[in-house]
Amino acid sequence: MHTHTHTLLCPRWQECQNRRQAHSEKRERERERERERERERERERARERTRIYSGPRREGTQTKMECRENLVQWLSWILLLGGPLVCWLQLTTERRMLYGRYTKSEDRCLVNTKLVWMIQEVPSLLVPLLLLLSTESRAGVGRSLLLGTFCLHYFHRSFIYAWRTRGRPFPVHIAVKSFIFCGMNGLLQGHYQLHCAPSWQNPVRMAVGLLLFFAGLIINIHSDHLLRSLRKPGEVHYRIPRGGMFEFVSGANYFGEILEWFGYAVAVWSLPAAAFFLFTSCTIGPRAIHHHRFYQQQFKDYPQSRRALIPFLL
């Protein structure tokens, strides 16, 4: 009797086991599909966050550009090595930047200074803007803001400063060199910020750097205004600049620009920004020293406490 009952129940028991296993496998597949849907929703949320912080992507108009690390390294090291070389040549030889008051009388290839300042400076504005508009950017709000400060400086130099300056005619060979440098540096800073820089930046360091940048920008613009006000249109003789940072240094406008790029380097915290700061300091710093010596030779009553470039130090 027992054997007969077991024989009848075994097929039914096996069938129940198969049904339970099939049901369990079905529930596992449903859970897996739900997990996959959740992962897809998370990816969509991440893409949405990227669109919010990086701005809208215009399909069909932007080219995908990867970070060219070798290009960034090469251009940065050109500035890092070239800056001290230029500084040494200006301070130890007569190979100073021969424009403005130092233009040689025998130099016949001169052009209008307003036009030259606009043409030679504008690549540093246009190249980053072209990269921003024509390529896919990985920069977030912070990096876009930092690149915006870079472009703000060169917008002022290319259009506002160039339009208001009243300098002497400008040597073409100096303008060509400046044009090449501005194009190269615009590519370096723009490409790094848009395609290479990490998305996260230290907020405290960024705030301090931006504060220094805008302080330097204000000093630079104010000092240029004081220099323009020293002479009326058509006058060629020099006067002692007074007011603002000129009470402390002879090259107040250069001090302001160096402070700008020091703040930019602190905020960005990258090799390209540091290289640009060093190169700028090495090229316009010696010019401030030459101006200081010029004023001391021209004016017997030139303030003895005034330094060349850095207040109380240099």
Residue at 53 is within a domain: no
Following DSSP, what letter does each residue of 245-288 receive, concatenated? GGGTBS-HHHHHHHHHHHHHHHHH-SHHHHHHHHHHHHHHHHHH
DSSP tag of 230: T
Its pTM stands at: 0.76
92 alpha carbon, distance to own chain's centre: 31
pLDDT at residue 105 greater than cutoff 90: no
Task: Tell me the one-letter amino acid at 28.
Answer: E
User: What pLDDT sits at residue 96?
Assistant: 64
Q: Evaluate whether 284 touches 254 at the Cβ level (below 8 Å).
A: yes
Residue at 314 is within a domain: no
Domains: count for the chain: 1
Using CA atoms, how far apart are residues 54 and 140, in angstroms rounded to an integer? Answer: 5
Per-residue pLDDT band at 21 (split at 50, 70, 90): confident
Q: Which domain holds residue 167?
A: 69-298
DSSP tag of 170: E
| φ, ψ (nearest 5 deg) of residue 249 | -140, 155
pLDDT digits (tens, 9 = 90+) for 139-161: 677 788 899 999 999 999 999 99
| φ, ψ (nearest 5 deg) of residue 313 | -120, -60
Residue at 33 is within a domain: no
Per-residue pLDDT band at 55 (split at 50, 70, 90): very low
Residue at 46 is within a domain: no
Using CA atoms, how far apart are residues 52 and 240, in angstroms rounded to an integer? Answer: 52
31 alpha carbon, distance to own chain's centre: 49
Using CA atoms, how far apart are residues 253 and 161, in angstroms rounded to an integer? Answer: 12
Using CA atoms, how far apart are residues 60 and 111, in angstroms rounded to an integer? Answer: 42
Please state, in angstroms and as integers, the Cα–Cα distance from residue 215 to each residue in 67, 176, 259, following that order: 32, 30, 8
Residue at 229 is within a domain: yes
Residue at 14 is within a domain: no
**Burial (CB count within 10 angstroms: exposed 0-12, middle 13-18, buried 19+), residue 22:** exposed
Residue at 155 is within a domain: yes
Residue at 11 is within a domain: no
User: What pLDDT sits at residue 245?
Assistant: 95
Instruction: Give the least confident one: 95-104, 168-177, 233-242.
Output: 95-104
pLDDT at residue 191 greater than cutoff 80: yes
Task: Tell me the one-letter amino acid at 220.
Answer: N
Please state, in angstroms and as integers, the Cα–Cα distance from residue 264 to each residue in 131, 142, 173, 208, following that order: 20, 13, 29, 10
pLDDT digits (tens, 9 = 90+) for 272-281: 999 999 999 9
